[in-house]
Structures are given as C-alpha cells and as structure tokens.
Amino acid sequence: MATTRNKLLTAAIVRRAIWDSFVKLNPVQMMKNPVMFVVEIGTFIVLLMTLIPGYFGTEESIGFNLTVFLILLFTVLFANFAEALAEGRGKAQADSLKQSKKQITANKVSGVSVKQVPSTELRKGDIVLVSQGEMIPGDGEVIEGLASVDESAITGESAPVIKEAGGDFSSVTGGTRVVSDRITVRITSDPGESFIDRMIALVEGAQRQKTPNEIALNTLLTTLTLIFLIVVVTLAPLANYLNIELTVPVLISLLVCLIPTTIGGLLSAIGIAGMDRVTRFNVLAMSGKAVEASGDIGTMILDKTGTITFGNRMASEFVPVGASSMNTVAEWAAISSIKDETPEGRSVLELMKKNGLAYDMALATGGEFIEFKAETRMSGIDLPNGRKVRKGAVDAVKKWVESQGGDVPSDLEAKGNAIARVGGTPLAVAVDGQVYGLIYLKDTVKPGMKERFEQLRQMGIKTIMCTGDNPLTAATIAREAGVDDFIAESKPEDKIAVIRREQAEGKLVAMTGDGTNDAPALAQADVGLAMNSGTVAAKEAANMVDLDSDPSKLIEVVAIGKQLLMTRGALTTFSISNDVAKYFAIIPAMFTLAIPQMEALNVMKLGSPLSAILSALIFNAIIIPLLIPLAMKGVKYKPMSSSKLLQRNIFVYGVGGIVVPFVGIKLIDLVVHVWI
C-alpha cells in the first residue's frame, strides 16, 4: 500500500481530472469557489457576445471576443483541473483502501458456542476468535491471548507486530491478518465506523473539508473580488464621461486579471494535497483542521520512552543496598516479575537466566499480581503466605515501605542517584518493610534526536519531555537529547496540566501517546497523535493516528503542517503580487489612446492595446497549470523562525510574483502582437 501511495499520480488520474474539469463547470459546483465563479460568469457573458453580436456587440469584435472567451474558458478549466487532480489522488487512495476491505467470516462467541457470521453482522461489544491465517473481522481489542498480526494492508509494512491482551498494544484493526497463534477480540466499532471506513471517508471527502484558515482566506479572496468588481463596474461610466470606449470584454478582462484568480484556482487543491501528504506519510488525520493546527504548534510534549529513547529499558544489573546480597535482590526482583508481562519485567527474568541465578517460582504460585499504575508507580505480587513484594520508582517504594512500618537503608538514595546520573532508571525492590536493592534499567537516546530538537528550536517550538523517571534520570536524558524542559515522575494529570498551562499562554500544543492514560491529554492537546498500536481510548481521543506507531513522527507531522501553511501563504502572496504586473499591462492599454500621458505607465512597452490585454489574460490562464506541481508537492520547508520565514517568502514569492508576470507578459506579447 505504501508503494501505491507513492504512485498515485497516474495517467488514469490525469484523464479523469481532465473530464472532471468540464463536469465542474456546473454553476452549482462553481459557486463554492466565488473567485472562479465570477470568472465563469464573465466567460458566459463574452460567449453570448460572440454568438449573438447583433445584440451584444459588433461584427468587427467577434474575433477578439472569441479569443477572450477561449482564454477565460481555459482559465476556469485549469483551476478545475488543479482541484480535480488533487481529488483524484484521494479517490485513488480510497480505492486502494477498499481493496483491503473485504467480506470476512467471523467466529463469533455466543455463550459457550462459536458460530460463523459475516463481519457485517458484528456489533460493538461482540466477542470473536481469530486464529492463525484468519482475517480480523473488525476493529477491536485483544482480551485474551497473544499473536503476530500482519498489518501491511493498513501500514504498508510487511513485518508483523505483536498484539496481546492488556497493556498498550491490544488494539487490532479490521482487515489485518493473524499470522501466528490465536487471540480473542472484543469488537469496538459498528459496521461503517471501522478504522478503514473512516480512512476511506476521509480521503474521498477531502475536498469538502474546509479548515478555519482556509475559510478565512476564502473570505478575503471573495472580498477582494467584490471590491475589484465594484471598481470595474464604476470604471465604465467614468470612461464614457471621458469619451473613452471600453467594451464589456475589455472590462471583463480587466476584472479577471485584477482578482486573485491564481490562488482562487489553487486554494482547494493546496488543502487537499496537504491532507494527502499527511496520509501518504502513513498518518491518518481526522480533519484538515488537525493538519493545519500542526503547522502553528508552539509547544511539543513528547514521552521519553519510545520517542526520545528506544524504549527498550532492560534490566542490566542488580544492585544490593544495606546488608542485602546481590542474590537476594535478584531473587525478590524475579519473584515480583514472574507475572509481569511488560518488557522490563521480562528483562529481569532474562537477566536472571543470563547470570545463572536461581529463584523459587513456587513462592508466587497462587499469588495476586499487582499491576503497574501511573498513580502508584509500582507493581508486584501479594504472596499466598501473606508477604508483599513490590518493585518500582525509588521514592514510591520508599513511601510504601514507610507505610509498612519499615526502615529505608541509608545508601538507597545514593545508589539510586548514581544510576540516574548515568541515564539509567533505578527500580527499588522491597518485601514488606524491607528494601533489598535496586534493578538497574538501561535505555538509550535515539541517534539524531538532539539535531532534530535543534531544528524544532529553530522553528520556534518548545519541546517538553514527560517521563516517569526520577528527576536525576530525567535531567540526564533531557540534557543528552537536547529538549528544552522536562517533567519527571510524570502522571497523566501532569501532562494535562502542562498542556493547559502552555495553552493559557496562547500556544498550540502537540503531544503523542498510545495508552489509555494518555487519552485525556491527547484530547486536551490541539494536535494529538495516537499510535495505531495503542489502545482504542487513545485513538478515539486523538485527532491523528500514526499507522506506523512511531512516536517521533510528530516532528515530521509538524513540518508537513508548516509546509501546508507556507504553500498557501506563498501562493497567495504570489497571486496578489501578480496583479501589480497585470495592472501595468492592461490599464495603459485601455486609456493610452484617449489619454496619451498614460503611456508613461506602459513600462513593458507592449505592442498594442489588444495584444496587451490578450497577453495579460493568457499569462493569467497559463500560470495556474504551471503552479499545480508546486501546489501538489508543497513549498520546500526549511526550519527557521517565523520572522525569517516571512522575510524569505515575501522576497521569493512577493518580489518573484511581480517580476515573473512582467517577463511572462512581455514574452507572450511578442508572439501575440505579431499574430494580431
């Protein structure tokens, strides 16, 4: 599917876009774009004057009117083609998604029996069994078992991923295939509301989604069009008063050249192409507003584990404290981890095996496992003999030991700080009222993160790292990664608090997450990027979902959002700057014969009044298709501050928007003047 996304601009799409360009001439559709609707009305008026010259013009003007009509018609068609081309890419992507949406037979659990039913009959809350080689019939959560799942139909990645009950990797997507083992899945969506259904609806309906910025810009363009319309209508009686004959086609030509037709024709295509770039990047944006908001992000909140670091915190050493021995620490660490299915818990048992250390598994038989919670920051097991074993953050375990009436060894804090200072994570191990030692967990900062955070800093984006580690470990990782700030011993409510604090300062905030605990913060953030491997709660709370489950992709999403805003701003600047050159082409041509002094404005020295008008119109028409590749691909984005970015765009697209038409209109006039 990834390959399909990269080849969405095909000959078939281009042919379909050409056909749709004519279909979109329907006035009902054109009214959605006021700028081009005005051009279409002008085109129709000139056509009438060409077909019925006795009523609307003279026989001598038929040739000029016909030429103006054809140029205006192609102006509208080129604008429609840009929009149709962008829509065609979305429809092609929807078609590729539909191929993965097949009728699947589901093994529905009904009481104590299992019966086969079509996937379309499944409803939220139904329980299904999925075995090796079978397709998952609908979106859901694994409630029992563990299996490898092939998600290539959704993500384009061939490597299977592990899905298991509990934790943050229990979410499965309909249309994916189980390649090993067997899982029990609780369906979490009704027919028509699945993940693939939402993706198809999104890409097929992209052209109908208007973002707040797009609506505001559309209002500005409509206002400018109305102003110039009033100016041109007022110009006619003034010209008659001065005994200057201005025909209707000439006035329409002036109006079309002065209104912002370039950005008016490309505006919709820019927005659709921006959504398409995000989707082709394997990120599902729930709305165009989310993509747009990512371009205005001022603060980015990132989890340490899996985002800044590799996230594979593994036990590397057992550190005794007080009078305990290393073997004793290791034994109780293993007992606390027997039923712990997290990577950290498994790594403790792997370290025991690697070092040839033994422990009595029978102690934990029949014990009650205590899961890790963000509030307690501990996990463990209550043994059948009444003893309680805990492992977790040093300060949390200290409080728990003190609540049990025990004493804390004097060297616990010093040894914990020593581990934290080198970037490790210390987990204290305690039984009842006694701390036996520490588990040294190692994690590594991903290469290149410091440079990426420096790029964000150049964009003016503040980065905040959230971690459950103690302040010393958090400070070490933050310094190594190069983030601007960090929150240590972070709880879910801490993330919400920092998001609200930044939003209160007028900043837009982005964050990533994959767990149920992240859902409130993802909902609070202006841009919430949930991992596809995460829980259903996280994906429902976020306004973007990363199909590749790469938390660091938020950085690229911000760049895409900025590219979208830059492209729209750059082409708007270019379009409005174009009007200056077209002004110097048409105005002198209209008035020079009656007012010779206006020859001073004819700085381009165009051949004749007619060739000047036609040259400006032709340039106005052909600049739209020439800019379609830029609108579709987007302006190249380089990390820099907003002020520098503004200066660069004004120089490149503002000054360029004035110079290019001067050159273009002059070159066209050299040909048109000879032809006339």
**Binding site for ATP: which residues?**
340, 344, 372-379, 391
Instruction: Answer yes or no: is pLDDT of 4 > 50.
Output: no
- Amino acid identity of 18? I
Q: Which helix (H) or strand (E) holds 501?
A: helix 492-504
**Binding site: which residues?**
340, 344, 372-379, 391, 514, 518
State whether CATH 3.40.1110.10 applies to domain 313-441.
Answer: yes
- For 393, residues 6+ apart whose C-beta sits below 8 A from its C-beta are 377, 378, 427, 428, 468, 469, 470, 489
Q: Distance of CA 334 to CAs 243, 362, 400, 431, Å? A: 100, 12, 19, 12
Across the chain, mean pLDDT equals 82
Distance (Å, whole) CA 380 – CA 396: 13
Confidence of residue 58 (pLDDT cuts 50, 70, 90): low
The mean pLDDT value for 540-544 works out to 84
Is pTM, for the whole model, over 0.85?
Answer: no
Under CATH, what is the fold of the domain 105-202? 2.70.150
Bigger pLDDT: 101 or 38?
38
- For 640, residues 6+ apart whose C-beta sits below 8 A from its C-beta are 458, 459, 648
Nearest Cα residue to 513 out of 489, 537, 494 = 537
Instruction: Answer yes or no: is pLDDT of 243 > 80.
Output: no
Instruction: Answer yes or no: is pLDDT of 3 > 50.
Output: no
Q: Answer yes or no: 303 catalytic.
A: yes
Q: What is the pLDDT of residues 155-201, one digit of tens each?
A: 655 567 788 777 667 778 887 888 888 889 988 887 776 666 766 66
Distance (Å, whole) CA 421 – CA 277: 42
Which range (94-98, 246-250, 299-303, 412-416) has the least confidence?
94-98
User: Percentage of the chain surpassing pLDDT 70?
Assistant: 89
Q: What is the pLDDT of residue 676?
A: 66
Nearest Cα residue to 90 out of 557, 459, 632 = 632
Bigger pLDDT: 405 or 599?
405
Which range (238-247, 515-524, 606-615) has the least confidence?
238-247
Q: What is the pLDDT of residue 307?
A: 73
Instruction: Answer yes or no: is pLDDT of 209 > 70.
Output: no
Confidence of residue 92 (pLDDT cuts 50, 70, 90): low
Residue pointed to by tokens 């993160």: 449
Instruction: Answer yes or no: is pLDDT of 584 > 80.
Output: no
Q: How far is CA 344 from the centre of its chain?
A: 31
Which pairing describes strands 105-110 and 314-320: parallel, antiparallel, or unpaired? unpaired
Instruction: Answer yes or no: is pLDDT of 374 > 80.
Output: no
Confidence of residue 6 (pLDDT cuts 50, 70, 90): very low
The mean pLDDT value for 424-448 works out to 86
**Which one from 303, 546, 579, 669 is the annotated catalytic residue?**
303
Instruction: Answer yes or no: is pLDDT of 50 > 70.
Output: yes
Q: What is the pLDDT of residue 210?
A: 64
The C-alpha angle 571, 572, 577, rounded to 5 degrees, equals 95
Domain ranges within the chain, ordered by starting residue: 11-93+203-279+559-673, 105-202, 290-308+446-547, 313-441
Instruction: Answer yes or no: is pLDDT of 476 > 70.
Output: yes
Q: CB neighbours (10 Å) of residue 312?
A: 14
Six-digit token string for 290: 């989310």
Q: Which helix (H) or strand (E) holds 41?
A: helix 34-51
Q: What is the pLDDT of residue 38?
A: 93
Q: What is the pLDDT of residues 97-116, one digit of tens each?
A: 665 556 678 888 888 788 88
Bigger pLDDT: 161 or 216?
216
Confidence of residue 244 (pLDDT cuts 50, 70, 90): confident
Q: Which helix (H) or strand (E) holds 381?
A: strand 378-382
Bigger pLDDT: 277 or 338?
338
Q: What is the pLDDT of residues 260-286, one digit of tens each?
A: 898 888 887 887 777 777 777 778 777
Confidence of residue 309 (pLDDT cuts 50, 70, 90): confident
Q: Which helix (H) or strand (E) holds 39?
A: helix 34-51
Bigger pLDDT: 167 or 629?
629
- Amino acid identity of 22? F
CATH class of 290-308+446-547: alpha beta
Q: What is the pLDDT of residues 131-148, one digit of tens each?
A: 888 888 888 888 888 888
- Amino acid identity of 337? S
Confidence of residue 22 (pLDDT cuts 50, 70, 90): very high
